[in-house]
Chain A
Amino acid sequence: EADIYQTPRYLVIGTGKKITLECSQTMGHDKMYWYQQDPGMELHLIHYSYGVNSTEKGDLSSESTVSRIRTEHFPLTLESARPSHTSQYLCASTDSSIGGYTFGSGTRLTVV
């Protein structure tokens, strides 16, 4: 069973709406990440966090914002959705050792 949960799995929303994609992990990992991925394409890091109250922008510019108020929770918010935001959003976490990422199942967002 996955220890990192993303909701919703699928979302269709109208242009201009505000949305929040949820990501929670139960492993106590300090580092969390958001990636954007078009179907079958490479991953682009858009946000990451190394701990509570720590957030950074990733390699790909994004109009979204994130917060990290609790260790286990790393939500991503789009204030005003646009069709160009249509994509899959993947959340991941890792600890401070040399292990790998654990990924959530992703949220597939469609903005119409």
Chain B
Amino acid sequence: AQSVAQPEDQVNVAEGNPLTVKCTYSVSGNPYLFWYVQYPNRGLQFLLKYITGDNLVKGSYGFEAEFNKSQTSFHLKKPSALVSDSALYFCAVRAGNFNKFYFGSGTKLNVKP
């Protein structure tokens, strides 16, 4: 069965510090992995994706993610957090017949000034 896990409901970090939002997945076949961000009362916005190639993927707003096949992980990272990064983050995988996405449960990121 395909699944995505975000083990942390909430991540708290001080502004200027590095941040990591964790994601692990379980899929059959090659995974296509995505990160989305959601601000209050809005839809989800695409941040970045891993399809193939370099394991370190760079995306919007200074975010990056590292694909680790052996650990089946796709953690989202940013070297220096901003207060404006505070939002809900979703990891997703497109797998199987590629017609459906499987979303994690979301991680709320709080960046304190």
Contacts and interface: CB of A to CB of B under 8 A. Distances in A.
Nearest to A44: B103
A108 interface: yes
Contacts of B98: 96, 98
A43 B103 contact: yes
Interface residues of A, number: 26
A42 B43 contact: no
Nearest to A106: B43
Contacts of B105: 41-42
B108 A108 contact: no
Contact of B88 (A40, A94, A96): A40
A40 B9 CA distance: 10
Place the interface of chain B in its size category.
Answer: 20 to 34
Contacts of A104: 43
Q: Is the interface of B mostly helix, strand, loop or mixed?
A: strand
A98 B94 contact: yes
Interface of A: 2, 6, 31, 33, 40-43, 45, 48, 50, 88, 90, 92, 94, 96, 98-106, 108
29 contacts: A6-B43, A31-B99, A33-B101, A40-B106, A40-B108, A41-B106, A43-B90, A43-B103, A43-B106, A45-B100, A48-B100, A90-B43, A92-B43, A96-B98, A98-B51, A98-B94, A98-B98, A100-B34, A100-B92, A100-B94, A101-B36, A101-B92, A102-B46, A103-B43, A104-B43, A105-B43, A106-B41, A106-B42, A106-B43
